[in-house]
């Protein structure tokens, strides 16, 4: 298993180009099973998760070629209507296949995703809305067995009891081929959801968004169209936080700052300096961090849960009883025991993390446990004296394209040991 060796302390100082968004690429690639024809999707990050999804789609019968961040795809007909456990267990986002496949075909069987390191992550919101649309669902031998009769699904007027990115994407896709106009309330409106909608509209859908209400006029069929994936705001946010933590300087290219506006405004209050250099190009620097009393994770446009772990790390040497409250996932704290190995002073009570600064952190042997939590370990390693060894770095490879090369480019002493 590959390991990462980082020698600290180290400052971020250099320039990085942000990759395409992982969380936008996944549903957009999935949504191609809805439509006829071929298309080219650009700016797709070369990650474990995107490659994995491509292998799932190929297994279902799609023809796909992925090279130089471009996916050429022909999904006109999927020949296999089962997504096996071996695939689904490795990538929870595959549950988002259910809506589009059952929207286009009369049956589909997909393994139940199960729990994961950051919480139980149930799929009730996905299944309840699909049932309302006329899908018969049985849970059998660990699989969701879905079927429908009739020519298409039925449009619904539905309010999600809780905001969910995946359920919103799943039901939007199912509704594109339903009979009638679907109205979904209390939807997730993350930029990754909007990118999916933009792609579907290019393919002939008629989808509108008004605050958290999304209307989808069902069509008989859709035709694939080319698309460029938006930049990854979470990747950008992670590098910005690494810059703040190390009081460094970082030029970022290919970044849509409006996708991270609230967090950036907050970071500015904490001492981040932002200078626009060009379209989608910014210089970030920070010479001192002003601790903030309480930051809470919220749905977009609020502070993303996907930056919570990295935010904790910036307070390790700067926090004065700084508090971070996690509101989205009940158990997204698996990085905390690992951060303590560096000598961090962190207290977790219910869903609130309190961080007090320590004057010194020391390199340690730690384990990557989930995608975003693993980046918080990198930040801690940059702040620590001596060598840090991070094992199980496949978690980082799931979501940060060329992260070791990008960090090296910014002056970090980092090595991947194969
Ligand atoms: C997506 C993102 C993930 C991000 C999360 C929240 C992808 C591939 N992943 O995950 O990076 O952290 O949004 O922004 O885009 N829930 C239920 N029932 C359901 C579905 C969700 O109770 O049927 C709960 C979850 O357990 C969680 C909350 O709703 O507490 C939000 O989860 P959701 O927005 O669905 O996350 P994902 O789509 O899985």
Residue 123 Cα to ligand 1 middle (Å): 9
Cα 355 to Cα 264, 293, 314, 328, 367: the distances in Å are 21, 10, 10, 20, 20
Alpha carbon dihedral 370, 371, 377, 383, in 10-degree steps, equals -160
Helix, strand and coil content of the chain, in percent to the nearest 5, comes to 35, 30, 35
Distance separating alpha carbons of residues 246 and 361, to the nearest angstrom: 13
Q: Indicate if 26 and 148 belong to the same structural domain.
A: yes
For residue 35, give every residue at least 6 positions away whose Cβ sits within 8 Å of its Cβ, in sequence order, or none. 75, 203, 204, 221, 222, 223, 224
Residue 116 has pLDDT above 80, yes or no: no
Q: Indicate if 32 and 15 belong to the same structural domain.
A: no
Query: If pLDDT is split at 50, 70 and 90, which confidence band does 85 have?
Result: confident
Last residue of a domain, one of 225, 255, 287: 225
Cα 400 to Cα 48, 69, 245, 413: the distances in Å are 9, 14, 19, 18
Residue 360 has pLDDT above 80, yes or no: yes
Distance separating alpha carbons of residues 338 and 334, to the nearest angstrom: 8
The tokens for 164 are 């969910």
Residue 393 has pLDDT above 60, yes or no: yes
Query: If pLDDT is split at 50, 70 and 90, which confidence band does 319 have?
Result: confident
Q: Indicate if 14 and 30 belong to the same structural domain.
A: no
Domain of 293, CATH number, reads 3.65.10.10
Residue 104 Cα to ligand 1 middle (Å): 24
Distance separating alpha carbons of residues 115 and 121, to the nearest angstrom: 6
Residue 77 has pLDDT above 90, yes or no: no
Adjacency order of strands within the sheet including 213-217: 157-159, 181-185, 213-217, 206-210
Q: Indicate if 54 and 70 belong to the same structural domain.
A: yes
- Which numbered atom of ligand 1 lies nearest the CA of 96? 38
- Which numbered atom of ligand 1 lies nearest the CA of 26? 8
Q: Indicate if 28 and 125 belong to the same structural domain.
A: yes
Percent of the chain with pLDDT strictly greater than 90: 89
For residue 94, give every residue at least 6 positions away whose Cβ sits within 8 Å of its Cβ, in sequence order, or none. 30, 53, 56, 83, 87, 88, 110, 113
Q: Indicate if 48 and 7 belong to the same structural domain.
A: no
Q: ∠ at Cα 412 (378, 322), nearest 5°? A: 40
Residue 8 has pLDDT above 60, yes or no: yes
pLDDT of amino acid 170: 98
Atom 38 of ligand 1, nearest CA residue? 166
Last residue of a domain, one of 199, 225, 251: 225
Distance separating alpha carbons of residues 265 and 384, to the nearest angstrom: 28
Residue 298 has pLDDT above 60, yes or no: yes
H/E stretch holding 58: helix 48-60
Last residue of a domain, one of 165, 191, 225: 225
- Strand 107-111 to 143-147 pairing: antiparallel
Annotation marks residue 62 as catalytic = no
Average pLDDT score over residue span 400-418 = 96
pLDDT of amino acid 180: 97
Distance separating alpha carbons of residues 49 and 4, to the nearest angstrom: 19
Q: Indicate if 307 and 405 belong to the same structural domain.
A: yes
Whether the CA torsion 258, 264, 266, 272 is positive or negative: it is: negative
Distance separating alpha carbons of residues 328 and 261, to the nearest angstrom: 19
Residue 324 has pLDDT above 90, yes or no: yes
Q: Indicate if 209 and 240 belong to the same structural domain.
A: no
Percent of the chain with pLDDT strictly greater than 70: 98
Tally of domains within the chain: 2
CB count in 10 Å sphere of residue 319: 23
Residue 315 has pLDDT above 90, yes or no: yes
Q: Indicate if 277 and 161 belong to the same structural domain.
A: no
Please give all residues whose beta carbon lies within 6 A of any atom in ligand 1, as ranges: 23, 26, 93, 119, 121-126, 162, 164-167, 188, 192, 305-306, 328-329
Q: Indicate if 162 and 294 belong to the same structural domain.
A: no
Q: Indicate if 164 and 216 belong to the same structural domain.
A: yes
Residue 187 Cα to ligand 1 middle (Å): 12
Q: Lowest mean pLDDT: which of 107-111, 112-116, 259-263?
A: 112-116
Q: Indicate if 213 and 240 belong to the same structural domain.
A: no
Residue 75 has pLDDT above 90, yes or no: no
Contact 318, 310 (CB under 8 A): no
For residue 385, the enclosing domain spans: 3-19+232-417
Between 121 and 227, the higher pLDDT residue:
227
Residue 197 has pLDDT above 80, yes or no: yes
For residue 261, give every residue at least 6 positions away whose Cβ sits within 8 Å of its Cβ, in sequence order, or none. 301
Query: If pLDDT is split at 50, 70 and 90, which confidence band does 119 have?
Result: low
């Amino acid at each position: 298993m590959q390991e990462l060796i980082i020698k600290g302390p180290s400052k971020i100082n250099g320039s990085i180009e942000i990759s395409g968004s992982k969380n936008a690429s996944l549903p957009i690639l999935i949504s191609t099973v809805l439509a006829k024809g071929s298309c080219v999707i650009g700016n797709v990050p070369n990650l474990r998760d995107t490659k994995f999804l491509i292998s799932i789609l190929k297994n279902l019968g799609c023809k796909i070629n992925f090279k130089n961040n471009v996916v050429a795809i022909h999904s006109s007909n999927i020949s296999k209507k089962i997504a096996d456990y071996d695939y689904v267990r490795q990538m929870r986002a595959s549950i988002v296949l259910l809506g589009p496949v059952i929207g286009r075909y009369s049956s589909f069987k997909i393994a139940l995703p199960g729990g994961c390191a950051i919480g139980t992550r149930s799929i009730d919101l996905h299944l309840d809305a699909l049932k309302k649309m006329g899908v018969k669902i049985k849970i059998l031998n660990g699989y969701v067995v879905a079927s429908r009769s009739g020519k298409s699904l039925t449009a619904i007027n539905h309010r999600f009891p809780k905001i969910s990115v995946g359920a919103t994407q799943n039901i939007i896709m199912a509704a594109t081929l339903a009979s009638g106009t679907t109205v979904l309330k209390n939807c997730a409106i993350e930029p990754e959801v909007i990118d999916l909608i933009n792609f579907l509209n290019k393919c002939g859908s008629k989808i509108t968004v008004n605050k958290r209400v999304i209307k989808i006029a069902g069509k008989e069929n859709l035709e694939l169209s080319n698309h460029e994936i938006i930049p990854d705001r979470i990747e950008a946010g992670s590098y910005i936080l690494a810059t703040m933590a190390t009081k460094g300087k970082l030029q970022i290219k290919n970044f849509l700052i409006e996708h991270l506006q609230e967090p950036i405004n907050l970071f500015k209050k904490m001492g981040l300096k932002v200078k626009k250099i060009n379209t989608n190009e910014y210089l970030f620097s920070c010479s001192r961090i002003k601790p903030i009393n309480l930051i809470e994770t919220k749905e977009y446009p609020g502070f993303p849960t996907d930056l919570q772990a990295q935010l904790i790390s910036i307070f390790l040497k700067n926090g004065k009883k700084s508090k971070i409250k996690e509101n989205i996932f009940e158990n997204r704290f698996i990085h905390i025991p690992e951060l303590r190995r560096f000598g961090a002073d962190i207290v977790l009570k219910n869903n609130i993390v309190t961080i007090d600064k320590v004057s010194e952190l020391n390199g340690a042997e730690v384990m990557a446990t989930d995608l975003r939590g693993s980046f918080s370990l990198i930040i801690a390693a940059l702040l620590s004296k001596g060598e840090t060894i991070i094992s199980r770095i496949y978690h980082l490879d799931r979501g940060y394209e060329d992260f070791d090369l990008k960090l090296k480019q910014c002056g970090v002493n980092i090595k991947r040991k194969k």
